[in-house]
Structure 1
Amino acid sequence: ATGGRGLDFAFDCAGVPAVRDQAASVLGLGGSLILVGITPRPLTITEGLTFNYLQKQVRGHYGGFPESVSELVQLTAAGRLDLAPSITDHIPLIDAADAVHRLENKIGDPIRLILVP
């Protein structure tokens, strides 16, 4: 798709080493790997020689700005943003500890768990 040039930017939104490796491997000259997904695991670049030769970069990204939450709520309320496809489950508030456990251990492939009062 890039005519062999590679990507300028690739994003790892999962925080999974296999995703990060794949994203890094498709970068072109001077391309940047943007780490959005958060993981407690160490960062490892598996293609050391190529990564250096092509002057690739790794950049971290942590969320957005506080005002972004208000904007997302307004877009959702106006029907311009549908978050339903990204909701994995609705969980009673009393089971919040279980929800955190599911997220930490990626049980049931959680994307977004909604706590319900």
Structure 2
Amino acid sequence: MMKKSRPVVICLLLLVIIMTITGTVFAAEFECKGEKIEKNGSFWGYAKKISSSEYRIEKGSSSIAFVKKQGSKWRIEDTAKTTLGWLNGSTIEKPNGYSWTSLSTAKSLCNGPDEIAAAIWVLKQCNKL
């Protein structure tokens, strides 16, 4: 009787191990906790809400980007006011308006508000993190 239950126990243990490993592997690199941004569990910077339509992204204590609502889109720009990309609904667009990737791709990198996740993804693509 005990020998029949052994494979079930082994399968359950393997399932728990797999779930633990995949949970760790697929965790977002960046996570927003209020205005604070963590990278792999350690403090990285801030997404400070300046107004209802604007955020300032800071790495440490230095501003590196702004996210500004423009109509129905969010513009992602560097500190020189160069547009790096747009969040348009569930699509992240290049500065020229062409589709770049989906918001879900950005959310897999950064667990946070849509506009901040999009900004972090765009900044990473532009080597500005």
> Which TM-score tier does this pair reach, normalised by the shorter chain?
under 0.3
**TM-score between the two structures when normalised by the length of structure 1:** 0.25
Larger RCO (CA within 8 A; separation ≥ 6): 1
Which entry has the higher C-alpha Rg, 1 or 2? 2
Structure number with the higher strand fraction is 2
**TM-score between the two structures when normalised by the length of structure 2:** 0.24
